[in-house]
A = this chain, B = another copy of it.
Amino acid sequence: MKNKIKTLRKQSNMTQEKLSKLCGVSRQTINCVENDKYDPTLELAFKISRALDKNVEEVFMYDKIS
């Protein structure tokens, strides 16, 4: 699983802190998801994507391998 959170977040001039508040989660959570530390919940994936004004599949790329 790959994601474009960092890129899209910077395009929107947002910090991890700001994004985390928009999503209602902690900054560590955003940091970990952004850096592929773990798989987010589907609901969180939706929240992040919406905060970045994108569809889930525009933010997260599923690569069948692992």
Copies in the complex: 2
Contact of A62 among B43, B57, B64 (CB under 8 A): B43
Residues of A14-66 contacting chain B, CB below 8 A? 39-46, 50, 55-57, 60, 62, 64
Q: Interface size of A by Cβ–Cβ distance < 8 Å? A: 16
A interface with B by C-beta (< 8 Å): 1, 39-46, 50, 55-57, 60, 62, 64
B41 and A41 contacting across the interface, CB-CB below 8 Å = yes
B60 and A57 contacting across the interface, CB-CB below 8 Å = no
- Offer 11 A-B interface pairs, CB within 8 angstroms, sorted by A: A1-B43, A39-B42, A41-B42, A42-B42, A42-B60, A43-B62, A45-B45, A46-B62, A50-B62, A56-B56, A56-B57
